[in-house]
Amino acid sequence: MYVDASSDRVIVIFPTIFKDVDDNIIGRVFMEEFKERRRQFQQAPRVIVSYRTPPEELKDMYEACIDDSISYLTFVPFPHHTKEVARDNTIKLIHTLRNYFHYHIKCCTICAYLHAHMRYKTNEFLKRLS
Residue that wins the pLDDT comparison between 6 and 108: 6
pLDDT digits (tens, 9 = 90+) for 25-76: 888 888 888 888 888 888 888 888 888 888 888 877 756 667 778 888 898 9
- When divided into structural domains, the chain yields a total of 1
Phi, psi values for residue 15, rounded to 5°: -80, 135
Phi, psi values for residue 13, rounded to 5°: -120, 130
The CATH number assigned to the domain holding 124 equals: 3.30.1460.20
Q: What's CA 68's distance to the chain center, in Å?
A: 15
Give the model's confidence band at 7: pLDDT under 50 very low, under 70 low, under 90 confident, else very high.
Answer: confident
Residue that wins the pLDDT comparison between 63 and 2: 2
Could you tell me the residue range of the domain that residue 123 belongs to? Answer: 2-129
pLDDT digits (tens, 9 = 90+) for 76-120: 999 888 889 998 998 898 888 888 888 888 787 677 777 777 888
Residue 62 confidence (pLDDT): 58
- 4 by DSSP, 3-state: which? strand
Diameter over CA atoms, the chain: 72
Helix/strand/coil percentages in the chain, nearest 5: 55, 20, 25
